[in-house]
Amino acid sequence: MLKYKIFSFIVFIVFCGKFAASAGLQRDRRQESARDQDDETREPVKYDGAQLWRIPISNEVERNAVAELETKYDGLKWKTVENRVDIMIDKSARESARSYLQNSNITYRILIDDLQKLIEVENPPKEEIELLQNRKGHRLTWKAYHNFNDIVGYLDYLAKTYPDLCSVQTIGTTHEGRALKLLKISNGHPANEAIWIDGGIHAREWISPAVTTYIINHLVENWEELPSYLKNIDWHILPVLNPDGYDYSQKFNRLWRKNRSRNPGSNCRGVDLNRNYGYMWGGEGTSSNPCSEVYRGKGAFSEPETAAVQNFITSQRKGDYFKAFLTFHSYGQYILYPWGYSKAITPDNNDMKLAGTQAATAIRNGSGATYQVGPAAILLYPAAGGSDDWAKGTMGIKYSFTVELRDTGRYGFILPASYIEQSGQEAFNFVDAMARSVTIL
């Protein structure tokens, strides 16, 4: 009898363990997605039947409902603004989550009906990409999303083909050993001021590296016809700030956000690099939990990627050499400026708003797209440790802007490659307007 009871108890424990493991599987594979195993042994995460919902948050009841969707139904927030949240709900939780919202009298709208189907058509087929490549010494096109090696190959091609205009510098090395390649475009005039541009700080925002390379291509290929205010600037452009995460998002988990550093004492990998900069590090909108999507790291500039940016910009600092710091993200169509850590207004808010509004007008005049302009914490939500706050608050770069690229929610992070050229032109129109502003204002 005793043996039977012991056996029954063991069966019960095993059953409970399997049930708990099953219940937590989606959170581990999707939100945390980072058990410390070799990437080569991983199976790519699939999002069959997962949906993206937009939920209004105009009161405390609705805010609590979103929190409940995250904790009880393993919802993954994609975007939060002042009056709404976009949240991904897995297929297995859809019916129970829908019932919960209905019982709470909360409305929602489905933005994406089946995430995996969208992922599978986001990029052209591999064979089509091969045909699109221009065979001019590099593999990059702006009709498809490319891997990190293609992007680095393009930078090296430019330095070799235009040695009097372009140079490539490695400013650091990632956790997994990838080089952080920075391109400088300059006519070499000693009186030039500088503009910094980066992309790809968040791995899943593929449109960001695509448009930063589009900007590079537009500058280089049209250099002789450019106006003087664009030619008399030293352009420092880092197309992919988070190569490890970018590579991981292409191979294993399309929605991976952080870098791929290991966190001692935790099975969850990665730090949100846009919570790791030193200005007001550790404040609101960040987390000390390594499994969080907004994990800030063990300290300011703890990550090799952010430390490399800090070291480079600090080493180049001579007077007010850098006139603007521009970082590209997705999605939502926003032109944001500090502060991000707080809803406090900067003393030069009017100047920032004017420059941002002029850039938004340039975008609208070019494509008709509307970009909202304002302080990040007010227009979206407070988030400390961002690169734009650091550039302005610590480095004194007045015109520090974050651009949230296309779209406004129909595709979200999974923006089809067919939008790259249009988004790239909008990004260039922004950069052109910003360069004009910072050399005049």
Separation of alpha carbons 353 and 372, rounded Å: 11
> d(Cα 112, Cα 123) in Å, to the nearest integer?
17
Per-residue model confidence (pLDDT) at position 41: 59
- Would you say 439 and 193 are in contact if contact means Cβ atoms under 8 Å apart? yes
Residue 115: band (very low, low, confident or very high) from pLDDT cuts 50, 70, 90? very high
CA-wise closest residue to 70 among 56, 45, 91, 87: 87
Q: Residue 216: which pLDDT band, with cuts at 50, 70 and 90?
A: very high
Whether the predicted pLDDT of 11 surpasses 60: no
Tell me how far apart the 2 most distant CA atoms of the chain are, in Å: 91
Domain ranges of the chain: 51-113, 129-440
pTM listed for this prediction: 0.91
What are the CA-CA distances from residue 190 to residues 158, 226, 232, 333, 381 (Å)? Answer: 22, 19, 10, 36, 40
| CA gap 161, 137 in Å, rounded | 9
Residue where the block lists tokens 């407070």: 382
Instruction: Report the distance separating Cα 22 and Cα 183, nearest Å.
Output: 46
Query: How far is Cα 54 from Cα 46, in angstroms, rounded to an integer?
Result: 21
Write down the mean pLDDT value for the chain.
Answer: 91
Domain 129-440 has CATH 3.40.630.10: yes
Query: Residue 158 pLDDT > 70, yes or no?
Result: yes
Question: In 194-276, which ranges are continuous DSSP H helix?
Answer: 207-221, 228-231, 243-251
Of 226, 230, 253, 250, nearest in space to 240 by CA: 250
CA dist., res. 174 & res. 242, Å (int): 8
pLDDT digits (tens, 9 = 90+) for 23-56: 343 444 444 443 344 455 579 999 999 999 999 9
**Residues forming the active site:** 404
What's residue 61's pLDDT?
Answer: 87
pLDDT score, position 129: 80
CATH number of 51-113: 3.30.70.340
The backbone region for 335, taken as left when phi is positive above 0, alpha when psi lies in -120 to 50, beta otherwise, is beta
- At residue 3, does pLDDT exceed 70? no
The alpha carbon of residue 134 and the mean position of all alpha carbons in its chain are separated, in whole angstroms, by 28
In this predicted structure, the answer to whether residue 329 has a pLDDT above a threshold of 80 is yes
Query: Whose CA is closest to 210, among 431, 437, 425, 65?
Result: 425
Distance CA 176, CA 183 (A): 21
* Residues 394/306, Cβ–Cβ less than 8 Å: no
What confidence category does residue 441 fall into, taking pLDDT thresholds of 50, 70 and 90?
low
User: Which residues contact residue 272 at a Cβ distance below 8 angstroms, ignoring those fewer than 6 apart?
Assistant: 202, 257, 258, 286, 292, 293, 294, 295, 296, 297
Query: Residue 372's closest CA among 72, 83, 142?
Result: 83
